[in-house]
């Protein structure tokens, strides 16, 4: 029997490590760029499905701080693809009530791209149905260090009492401030690692790893991940009896 989605147990925030574009291309004897291009179609499919399911926040790991060290040609192609993606998709995001935010070290990008990030957010920011976090030049450790630096700067004038630094206070200084921590983390292409994604925020996320490569990961695969999530018991350190 085909399982159906429990609409009362939809994860509020889903984060995705979209991995495997290179391997997908290699398998088909294409160059890696073709894999990234095909991956954009998966992004489209997953964004649409997430929105339709009523997911409130979708965070996509699209480019890590470490990814800058890839061959120059690949990085340049990714930047072109990113520009094209933002220009092409913004009207649909607007129409579909999706707010697009870029999170990560935005200062690492060209002026042109930074302006485009700004413009995309301005044009979509009334979208109340879903927030799409595009994690770009993102690094979990950098996110945490950045929060520490911001807190220190704020404390320079009027000293902060160390007891004021609660988990909530710290979270409010991360790139993801204002949104709930991910309920579910999906990683495609089988790798069992976090690769410097949302280190602080993933503390209690459910993890789903699939061997499917990102360019092959579409609507049905996303629904499969949500169904798997719905079988989990989230205990947060308690016993099963306490949770039930
Ligand atoms: C993910 O696919 C996309 C980015 C990191 C930009 P990869 O390019 O890492 O694909 P694999 O891991 O080499 O297959
Ligand atoms: C993680 O994938 C980053 C993104 C999906 C953007 P990587 O391909 O960079 O991760 P590693 O190198 O396999 O850990
Ligand atoms: Mg990879």
> pLDDT tens digit string along 71-110?
999 999 999 999 999 999 999 999 999 999 999 999 999 9
The first and second tokens of residue 21, run together, are: 């574009």
Q: Over pLDDT 70: what percentage of the chain?
A: 99
Residue 67 designated active-site: yes
Residue 19 designated active-site: yes
Expressed in angstroms and rounded, the spacing between residue 154 Cα and the centre of ligand 2 is 33
36-60 per-position pLDDT tens digit: 999 999 999 999 999 999 999 999 9
Measured between alpha carbons, how far is 20 from 156 in angstroms, rounded to an integer? Answer: 44
From 18, 20, 69, 71, the mutation candidate for ligand 1 (largest count of ligand atoms within 8 A of CB) is 20
Supply the pLDDT for residue 2: 76
Expressed in angstroms and rounded, the spacing between residue 138 Cα and the centre of ligand 3 is 14
Written as one string, the DSSP assignment of 68-131 is: GGS-HHHHHHHHHHHHHHHHHHHHHHHHTTEEEEEES-GGGS-HHHHHHHHHHHHHHTT--SEE
CA-atom Rg of the chain in angstroms:
19
Q: Over pLDDT 90: what percentage of the chain?
A: 94
Measured between alpha carbons, how far is 176 from 205 in angstroms, rounded to an integer? Answer: 15
Supply the pLDDT for residue 170: 98
Supply the pLDDT for residue 1: 66
What is the number of other CB atoms lying within 10 angstroms of the CB of residue 76? 11
What is the number of other CB atoms lying within 10 angstroms of the CB of residue 26? 14
Please state, rounded to an integer, the average pLDDT across all residues of the chain: 97
Q: Which of 31, 67, 121, 196 is catalytic?
A: 67
| pLDDT at 240 > cutoff 90 | yes
128-165 per-position pLDDT tens digit: 999 999 999 999 999 999 999 999 998 877 778 889 99
Q: What is the phi/psi pair of residue 16, to 5°?
A: -130, 130
List, in order, residues 6 or more apart from 12 with CB less than 8 Å away: 55, 56, 57, 180, 183
180-229 per-position pLDDT tens digit: 999 999 999 999 999 999 999 999 999 999 999 999 999 999 999 999 99
Domains of the chain: 13-231 (3.40.1180.10)
């Amino acid at each position: 029997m085909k399982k159906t989605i429990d609409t009362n147990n939809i994860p509020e925030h889903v984060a995705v490590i979209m991995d495997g574009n290179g391997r997908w291309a290699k398998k088909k004897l294409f160059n890696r760029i073709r894999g990234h291009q095909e991956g954009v179609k998966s992004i489209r499919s997953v964004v649409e499905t997430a929105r339709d399911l009523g997911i409130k926040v979708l965070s996509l790991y699209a480019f890590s701080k470490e990814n800058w060290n890839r061959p120059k040609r690949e990085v340049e192609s990714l930047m072109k693809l990113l520009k094209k993606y933002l220009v092409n998709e913004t009207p649909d995001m607007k129409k579909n009530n999706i707010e697009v935010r870029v999170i990560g070290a935005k200062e690492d990008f060209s002026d042109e791209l930074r302006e485009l990030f700004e413009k995309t957010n301005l044009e979509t920011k009334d979208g109340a149905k879903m927030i799409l976090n595009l994690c770009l030049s993102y690094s979990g450790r950098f996110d945490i260090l950045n929060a520490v630096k911001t807190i220190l700067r704020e404390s320079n004038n009027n000293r902060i009492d160390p007891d004021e630094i609660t988990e909530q206070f710290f979270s409010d200084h991360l790139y993801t401030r204002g949104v709930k921590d991910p309920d579910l983390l999906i990683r495609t292409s089988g790798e069992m690692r976090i690769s410097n994604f949302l280190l602080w925020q993933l503390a209690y996320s459910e993890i789903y790893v699939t061997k499917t490569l990102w360019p092959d990961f579409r609507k049905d695969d996303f629904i499969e991940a949500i169904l798997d999530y719905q079988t989990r018991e989230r205990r947060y350190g308690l016993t099963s009896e306490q949770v039930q």
